[in-house]
Protein backbone atom coordinates (compact mmCIF):
# COMPACT_ATOMS: atom_id res chain seq x y z
CA UNK A 1 0.00 0.00 0.00
CA UNK A 2 2.85 2.41 0.69
CA UNK A 3 3.85 2.01 -2.97
CA UNK A 4 0.42 3.14 -4.21
CA UNK A 5 0.69 6.03 -6.65
CA UNK A 6 -2.76 7.36 -5.64
CA UNK A 7 -3.66 7.69 -9.31
CA UNK A 8 -7.38 7.14 -8.53
CA UNK A 9 -7.75 4.90 -11.57
CA UNK A 10 -8.37 1.69 -9.69
CA UNK A 11 -10.98 2.67 -7.13
CA UNK A 12 -13.92 4.81 -6.17
CA UNK A 13 -13.98 6.99 -3.06
CA UNK A 14 -15.80 4.21 -1.18
CA UNK A 15 -13.03 1.77 -2.04
CA UNK A 16 -10.49 4.41 -1.00
CA UNK A 17 -11.84 4.24 2.53
CA UNK A 18 -11.31 0.48 2.51
CA UNK A 19 -7.76 0.84 1.18
CA UNK A 20 -6.96 2.99 4.22
CA UNK A 21 -7.71 -0.05 6.37
CA UNK A 22 -5.17 -2.18 4.52
CA UNK A 23 -2.02 -1.57 6.48
CA UNK A 24 0.00 -3.39 9.11
CA UNK A 25 -0.79 -0.93 11.90
CA UNK A 26 -4.55 -1.24 11.34
CA UNK A 27 -4.34 -5.04 11.09
CA UNK A 28 -2.57 -5.35 14.45
CA UNK A 29 -4.94 -2.81 16.03
CA UNK A 30 -7.95 -4.94 15.03
CA UNK A 31 -6.21 -8.18 16.06
CA UNK A 32 -5.57 -6.71 19.52
CA UNK A 33 -9.14 -5.41 19.81
CA UNK A 34 -10.50 -8.84 18.87
CA UNK A 35 -8.40 -10.46 21.62
CA UNK A 36 -9.87 -8.11 24.22
CA UNK A 37 -13.57 -8.31 23.37
CA UNK A 38 -16.30 -10.91 23.25
CA UNK A 39 -16.24 -13.03 20.08
CA UNK A 40 -19.70 -11.74 19.11
CA UNK A 41 -18.16 -8.27 18.74
CA UNK A 42 -15.09 -9.34 16.73
CA UNK A 43 -14.35 -7.59 13.48
CA UNK A 44 -13.95 -10.16 10.73
CA UNK A 45 -10.51 -10.08 9.18
CA UNK A 46 -9.86 -11.31 5.65
CA UNK A 47 -6.47 -11.42 3.97
CA UNK A 48 -5.87 -11.99 0.28
CA UNK A 49 -2.59 -13.45 -0.94
CA UNK A 50 -1.48 -12.71 -4.46
CA UNK A 51 0.34 -15.44 -6.40
CA UNK A 52 3.39 -13.21 -6.87
CA UNK A 53 4.17 -13.16 -3.13
CA UNK A 54 4.23 -16.91 -2.57
CA UNK A 55 7.49 -17.70 -4.41
CA UNK A 56 9.24 -15.10 -2.22
CA UNK A 57 8.09 -16.85 0.96
CA UNK A 58 8.93 -20.25 -0.51
CA UNK A 59 12.49 -19.17 -1.36
CA UNK A 60 12.95 -17.34 1.95
CA UNK A 61 12.07 -20.44 3.98
CA UNK A 62 13.34 -23.08 1.52
CA UNK A 63 9.87 -24.52 0.85
CA UNK A 64 7.87 -25.43 -2.22
CA UNK A 65 5.22 -22.84 -3.15
CA UNK A 66 2.31 -25.02 -1.94
CA UNK A 67 3.93 -25.55 1.47
CA UNK A 68 4.69 -21.84 1.73
CA UNK A 69 1.03 -21.06 1.01
CA UNK A 70 -0.18 -23.51 3.65
CA UNK A 71 2.24 -22.21 6.28
CA UNK A 72 1.47 -18.57 5.52
CA UNK A 73 -2.25 -19.31 5.76
CA UNK A 74 -1.73 -21.15 9.07
CA UNK A 75 0.38 -18.30 10.43
CA UNK A 76 -2.21 -15.67 9.53
CA UNK A 77 -5.01 -17.74 11.08
CA UNK A 78 -2.91 -18.23 14.23
CA UNK A 79 -2.73 -14.44 14.53
CA UNK A 80 -6.53 -14.25 14.45
CA UNK A 81 -7.32 -13.72 10.77
CA UNK A 82 -10.68 -15.30 9.96
CA UNK A 83 -10.32 -15.84 6.21
CA UNK A 84 -7.33 -16.17 3.91
CA UNK A 85 -8.00 -16.04 0.16
CA UNK A 86 -5.69 -16.92 -2.69
CA UNK A 87 -6.19 -14.44 -5.53
CA UNK A 88 -4.68 -16.67 -8.21
CA UNK A 89 -8.07 -17.45 -9.70
CA UNK A 90 -8.91 -13.75 -9.85
CA UNK A 91 -5.64 -13.08 -11.68
CA UNK A 92 -6.47 -15.90 -14.10
CA UNK A 93 -9.91 -14.40 -14.81
CA UNK A 94 -8.34 -11.00 -15.34
CA UNK A 95 -5.93 -12.43 -17.91
CA UNK A 96 -8.76 -14.26 -19.68
CA UNK A 97 -10.89 -11.10 -19.83
CA UNK A 98 -7.96 -9.05 -21.14
CA UNK A 99 -7.35 -11.69 -23.79
CA UNK A 100 -11.03 -11.70 -24.78
CA UNK A 101 -11.10 -7.92 -25.06
CA UNK A 102 -7.92 -7.87 -27.14
CA UNK A 103 -9.29 -10.45 -29.61
CA UNK A 104 -12.50 -8.40 -30.00
CA UNK A 105 -10.55 -5.18 -30.53
CA UNK A 106 -8.16 -6.86 -32.96
CA UNK A 107 -11.09 -8.14 -35.02
CA UNK A 108 -12.58 -4.59 -35.12
CA UNK A 109 -9.28 -2.85 -35.91
CA UNK A 110 -10.29 -2.11 -39.52
CA UNK A 111 -13.79 -0.89 -38.63
CA UNK A 112 -12.96 1.26 -35.58
CA UNK A 113 -10.21 3.86 -35.55
CA UNK A 114 -9.56 3.54 -31.81
CA UNK A 115 -9.87 -0.24 -31.44
CA UNK A 116 -6.09 -0.51 -31.10
CA UNK A 117 -3.82 -0.03 -29.31
CA UNK A 118 -5.25 -1.54 -26.17
CA UNK A 119 -3.63 -0.64 -22.89
CA UNK A 120 -3.78 -3.02 -19.95
CA UNK A 121 -1.89 -3.14 -16.70
CA UNK A 122 -1.82 -4.24 -13.12
CA UNK A 123 -1.36 -1.75 -10.30
CA UNK A 124 2.33 -0.81 -10.12
CA UNK A 125 2.14 -0.68 -6.32
| Sequence spans of domains, the chain | 14-43, 46-113
pLDDT tens per residue across span 101-122: 999 999 999 999 888 888 876 6
pLDDT tens per residue across span 67-104: 999 999 999 999 999 999 988 888 788 889 989 999 99
Closest to 90 in 3D by CA, of 68, 123, 117, 66 = 123
Amino acid sequence: LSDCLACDNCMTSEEGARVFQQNQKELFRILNLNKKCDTSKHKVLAVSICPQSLPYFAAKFNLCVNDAAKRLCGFLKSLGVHYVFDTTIAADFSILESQREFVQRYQRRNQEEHALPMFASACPG
